[in-house]
């Protein structure tokens, strides 16, 4: 629910009653291939009237700066590592798994009549989030931010709602980000499920992330643990192995507190298998069972919750995603660089519409007139009773396109393509990318490393029955925020032409030495007096 600040204050003043707030905490544990375990914490704090004057559970330090800027909704994620969509499936909870920092904010229609302009409010919002979570968001400014439709982030956003979006691909996650997040919780990190969040275990995982979104504040911590040694068949995880401790305390403020454990079980049937088993081979599917532990009170567990999880090592237990998308930047030097998009649709009969969204920094220039599409189709992959039509596999595969060019040394651009991927086919899209020549003072502190190209986002549109069933099968617990399904690619590192920054110093040193020797010799010859010395 998105309510204006003035309306919320008026409602709270008129009623004159205390806000009925709730705090729900959830820990989602499920196994991944290779003996891994995915742990996703979700701490949801909600108020019935979204009171912004009297805080009991909702974090004042987070909501007051956000409310003063009349922000409808926002989301901040800090990720480290790479999420493997092909083998891990869809992430639980927050679905923003882009490397580095990612910030979204929706201002709706109210920003047009606000006293402060939108860029100023956007800058103040990122500064407030940077101060709250000790994140280095100072690089987010007008030149690195773009405006996109809010439906790319929240599927229930109105059509006329816009969102501002910015990436920081080189930002990392550290203890300075986790500690402020725990301080926003009612019981901090000393009780409840938050007591399991140990810095050294989370930051040592293969993938870890920190996220926050509001007004219904949802704080999330996600990590993918990998066993130190891979056994032959399965690896048994204890709760103390994952978090270096068992659950021994509860948060008295929590309305609900649950631990969900999902692990494979070959003897358990799934309810959704009958709907979409026709498009995935049965050897790639393992039945899942889910155990739910109510941790509002630890008395039923003897005062300590210690559980075990059996994680398989060989073979995936999740259905591979019906849509897989990647982006690669090929080439070398200043010219002949190519961006290649590869989208694979594994559905047998359904065509998928996908929105490709990519930020274009002003340091590079895409040549959209070089856009080229290629479709590869293998009819052998279709079931025997499937019917395919020739028109579905004929061009064009780009049904709509929007290109906002970047302003040189001024503003980041964006590319949006609506792609049509037929069933059982692989669509390849390529276009040329040129790199601009930078001034000597425009290079980053480490220019020889190159520049970061933010990750691309793929958003499926109007998904069919099979794709909705796949998404539902991977979401084995309800999520608090309604978000659009998004697929992130890995960021790219582009090498750029770098001048020899050492040459000025070499010249300075050479001429300083030359002048010192010349001046010293000349001065010595002018002021020295030669005379005979009698010994």
- Give the pLDDT of residue 468: 54
User: Is 222 in the same domain as 338?
Assistant: no
- Give the pLDDT of residue 340: 94
Other residues' Cβ atoms within 10 Å of the Cβ of residue 516 = 10
- Residue 429: pLDDT band with limits 50, 70, 90: very high
Residue 102 lies in a domain: yes
- Give the pLDDT of residue 286: 53
Q: Residues 350, 467: contact at Cβ < 8 Å?
A: yes
- Give the pLDDT of residue 26: 93
Which of 312, 337, 369 is the last residue before a domain boundary?
312
CATH of the domain at 375: 2.60.40.1170
- Give the pLDDT of residue 386: 66
- Residue 347: pLDDT band with limits 50, 70, 90: confident
> What is the per-residue pLDDT across 310-339, written as a single tens digit (0 to 9) for each?
887 765 545 567 788 999 998 877 777 899
- Residue 110: pLDDT band with limits 50, 70, 90: low
User: Is 44 in the same domain as 102?
Assistant: yes
Residue 88 lies in a domain: yes
Position 440 pLDDT exceeds 60: yes
> What is the per-residue pLDDT across 39-81, written as a single tens digit (0 to 9) for each?
999 999 887 655 556 678 888 888 888 888 888 888 899 998 8
Concatenate the DSSP letters of all residues of 485-519 into one string: --EEPPPEEE------THHHHHHHHHHHHHHHHHH
Nearest CA-CA partner of 230 in 208, 206, 263, 198: 206
- Give the pLDDT of residue 342: 94
Q: In whole angstroms, what is the distance from residue 523 CA to residue 394 CA?
A: 85
Nearest CA-CA partner of 80 in 491, 495, 494, 493: 491
> What's 430-461 look like in SS3?
EEEEEECCCCHHHCCCCHHHCEEECCCEEEEE
Position 181 pLDDT exceeds 70: yes
User: Is 208 in the same domain as 233?
Assistant: yes
- Give the pLDDT of residue 118: 83
Bond before 396 cis per omega within 30 degrees: yes
Residue 198 lies in a domain: yes
> What is the per-residue pLDDT across 356-372, written as a single tens digit (0 to 9) for each?
999 888 888 899 999 99
Position 477 pLDDT exceeds 50: no
User: Is 152 in the same domain as 301?
Assistant: yes
Residue 193 lies in a domain: yes
Nearest CA-CA partner of 484 in 172, 75, 83: 75
Put the strands of the sheet holding 73-80 in their side by side order: 145-149, 162-168, 100-106, 73-80, 207-214, 217-225, 36-47, 21-32, 256-264, 288-294
Q: In whole angstroms, what is the distance from residue 219 CA to residue 72 CA?
A: 17
Average pLDDT over residues 142-168: 76
Q: Phi and psi of 517, rounded to 5°?
A: -70, -45
User: Is 207 in the same domain as 327?
Assistant: no
User: Is 128 in the same domain as 162?
Assistant: yes
Position 501 pLDDT exceeds 90: no
User: Is 191 in the same domain as 290?
Assistant: yes
> What is the per-residue pLDDT across 215-262, written as a single tens digit (0 to 9) for each?
678 888 888 988 877 666 778 888 988 898 899 999 999 999 999 998
- Give the pLDDT of residue 476: 42
Q: In whole angstroms, what is the distance from residue 533 CA to residue 535 CA?
A: 6
User: Is 186 in the same domain as 78?
Assistant: yes
Which of 247, 282, 312 is the last residue before a domain boundary?
312
* Low-confidence winner among 236-245, 310-319, 478-487, 508-517 (lowest mean pLDDT): 478-487
- Give the pLDDT of residue 356: 92
Residue 149 lies in a domain: yes
Among 32-41, 250-259, 433-442, 455-464, name the most confident range: 250-259
Average pLDDT over residues 392-401: 85
* Low-confidence winner among 71-80, 90-99, 141-150, 312-321 (lowest mean pLDDT): 312-321
Residue 533 lies in a domain: no
The β-bridge partners of 418 are 355, 400
User: Is 211 in the same domain as 350?
Assistant: no
Residues in the chain: 535
- Residue 293: pLDDT band with limits 50, 70, 90: very high
> What is the per-residue pLDDT across 268-278, written as a single tens digit (0 to 9) for each?
444 444 444 33
- Give the pLDDT of residue 7: 37
Q: In whole angstroms, what is the distance from residue 280 CA to residue 283 CA?
A: 9
- Give the pLDDT of residue 82: 87
Residue 115 domain boundaries: 5-312
User: Is 377 in the same domain as 482?
Assistant: yes
Residue 348 lies in a domain: yes
Which of 289, 312, 335 is the last residue before a domain boundary?
312
- Give the pLDDT of residue 250: 92
> Torsion angle, CA of 459/462/464/466, rounded to 10 degrees?
30
Residue 384 lies in a domain: yes
Q: Residues 5, 13: contact at Cβ < 8 Å?
A: no
Q: Residues 196, 182: contact at Cβ < 8 Å?
A: no
Tell me the angle at which helices 60-68 and 5-15 cross, rounded to the nearest 10 degrees: 120
> What is the per-residue pLDDT across 402-421, written as a single tens digit (0 to 9) for each?
898 888 888 888 899 999 99
Concatenate the DSSP letters of all residues of 151-212 into one string: GGT-TT--TT-EEEEEEETT----HHHHHHHHHTSTTTTTSGGGGG--HHHHHTSSEEEEEE
Domain count, the chain: 2
* Low-confidence winner among 232-246, 387-401, 509-523 (lowest mean pLDDT): 387-401
User: Is 330 in the same domain as 452?
Assistant: yes
User: Is 299 in the same domain as 339?
Assistant: no
Among 172-186, 310-324, 375-389, 467-481, name the most confident range: 172-186
Average pLDDT over residues 158-178: 82
């Amino acid at each position: 629910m998105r309510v204006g600040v003035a309306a919320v204050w008026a409602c709270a003043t008129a009623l004159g009653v205390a806000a009925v707030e709730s705090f729900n905490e959830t820990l989602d544990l499920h196994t991944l291939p290779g003996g891994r375990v995915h742990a996703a914490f979700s701490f949801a704090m909600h108020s019935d009237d979204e009171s912004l004057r009297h805080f009991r559970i909702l974090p004042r330090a987070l909501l007051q700066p956000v409310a003063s800027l009349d922000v409808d909704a926002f989301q901040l994620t800090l990720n480290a590592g790479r999420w493997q969509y092909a083998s891990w499936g869809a992430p639980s909870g927050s679905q923003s798994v882009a490397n580095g920092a990612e910030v979204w904010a929706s201002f709706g229609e109210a920003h047009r009549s606000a006293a402060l302009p939108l860029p100023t409010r956007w800058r103040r919002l990122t500064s407030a989030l940077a101060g709250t979570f000790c994140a280095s968001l100072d690089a987010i400014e007008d030149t690195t931010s773009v405006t996109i439709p809010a439906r790319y982030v929240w599927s229930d956003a109105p059509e006329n709602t816009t969102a501002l979006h910015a990436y920081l691909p080189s930002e990392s996650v550290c203890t300075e980000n986790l500690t402020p997040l725990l301080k926003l919780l009612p019981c901090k990190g000393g009780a409840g499920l938050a007591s399991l969040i140990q810095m050294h275990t989370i930051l040592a995982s293969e993938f870890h992330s920190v996220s926050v979104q509001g007004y219904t504040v949802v704080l999330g911590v996600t990590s993918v643990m990998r066993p130190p040694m891979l056994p032959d068949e399965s690896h048994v995880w204890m709760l103390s192995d994952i978090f270096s401790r068992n659950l021994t305390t509860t948060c008295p403020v929590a309305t609900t507190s649950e631990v969900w454990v999902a692990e494979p079980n070959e003897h358990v049937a799934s309810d959704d298998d009958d709907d979409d088993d026709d498009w995935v081979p049965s050897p790639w599917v393992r039945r899942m069972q889910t155990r739910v532990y109510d941790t509002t009170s630890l008395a039923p567990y003897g005062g300590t919750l210690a559980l075990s999880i059996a994680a398989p090592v060989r073979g995936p237990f999740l259905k591979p995603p019906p849509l897989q998308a990647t982006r690669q930047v090929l080439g070398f030097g200043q010219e002949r660089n190519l961006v290649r998009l590869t989208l694979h649709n594994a559905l047998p009969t359904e065509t998928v519409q996908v929105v490709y969204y990519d930020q274009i920094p002003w340091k590079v220039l895409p040549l959209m007139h070089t856009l080229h599409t290629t479709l590869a189709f293998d009819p052998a992959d279709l079931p025997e009773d499937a019917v395919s039509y020739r028109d579905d596999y004929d061009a064009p595969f780009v049904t709509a396109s929007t290109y906002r060019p970047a302003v040189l040394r001024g503003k980041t651009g964006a590319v949006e393509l609506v792609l049509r991927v037929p069933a059982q086919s692989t669509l390849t899209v390529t276009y040329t990318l040129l790199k601009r020549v930078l001034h000597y003072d425009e290079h980053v502190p480490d220019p020889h490393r190159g520049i970061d190209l933010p990750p691309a986002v793929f958003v499926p549109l109007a998904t069919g029955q099979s794709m909705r069933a796949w998404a539902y099968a991977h979401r084995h617990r309800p999520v608090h925020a309604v978000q659009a399904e998004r697929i992130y690619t890995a960021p790219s590192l582009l090498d750029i032409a770098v001048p020899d920054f050492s040459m000025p110093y070499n010249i300075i040193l050479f001429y300083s030495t030359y002048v010192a020797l010349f001046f010293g010799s000349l001065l010595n010859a002018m002021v020295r007096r030669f005379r005979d010395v009698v010994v």
